[in-house]
Amino acid sequence: MAPAVKRSPTEDMATEDVAAEALITEAHAHARRRRLKIAVTVIVLAVTAAAAVLIGRAAAGSHGTAHRGPQSAAPAAATGFVTGHLAACFGISPKNPAQAITPGTVVAFRGRVTYRQVAPGSWRAEFPKGPVVASQHISNNQDQAFRLALPPGHYVIAGHYDENPAGSYAPFTEVTVTTGATVRVDLPNPCM
């Protein structure tokens, strides 16, 4: 057995200082790791919350782009239907009729068209003042029909082509809707 080496009090204090410094260094490293974990957790939660808000806005349709306007009312117990086509707007028939597509929206106003004289021998049709009751966008005039569910009453069904100024309606017709009945109307080509 080797004889025990005696240390001086200064050497003992130096050893304790080294041990204390090692413990302090380890505590600092542990605190840095803990702060890093907290920061990462906060960032992940913030990104998740932001993504949830964006998804919620997109799903609710309130993401700040164009307002879609009124949509066709869901069929209720006392409704009738108006269905038909919005004709493509072209002056000369194309060689390939499948290419004649003019996207637009079909709308329904409750009421009747009135006519106002704007000059001698010249009259202008005026739509009812009320809001649009139902609408449907038509992206393909050849294959897509519109179908609007409406409460019983008299309506003006009008077409608005995407390329025309807002609020301008070209083809229109008037219909009377009764409960449970379907009225078929094909809006004419106003460009012929």
| Half-sphere CA count of 77, side-chain side, radius 13 A | 0
* CA-wise closest residue to 180 among 84, 111, 78, 86: 78
* CA-wise closest residue to 145 among 87, 73, 72: 87
pLDDT above 60 for 97: no
| Half-sphere CA count of 73, side-chain side, radius 13 A | 17
Of the candidate ranges 10-24, 74-88, 176-190, the one whose mean pLDDT is the lowest: 10-24
Residue 122: beta bridge partners? 119
What would the pLDDT profile of 1-29 be if each residue is shown by its tens digit?
566 666 666 666 666 777 778 778 888 88
What would the pLDDT profile of 140-153 be if each residue is shown by its tens digit?
877 789 999 999 99
Cα 104 to Cα 68: distance, rounded to the nearest angstrom: 13
Of the candidate ranges 51-55, 90-94, 165-169, the one whose mean pLDDT is the lowest: 90-94
Average pLDDT of span 96-110: 79
- Within the chain, strands assigned E span 80-84, 104-110, 114-119, 122-126, 132-138, 146-150, 153-161, 172-177, 182-184
pLDDT at position 112 is 92
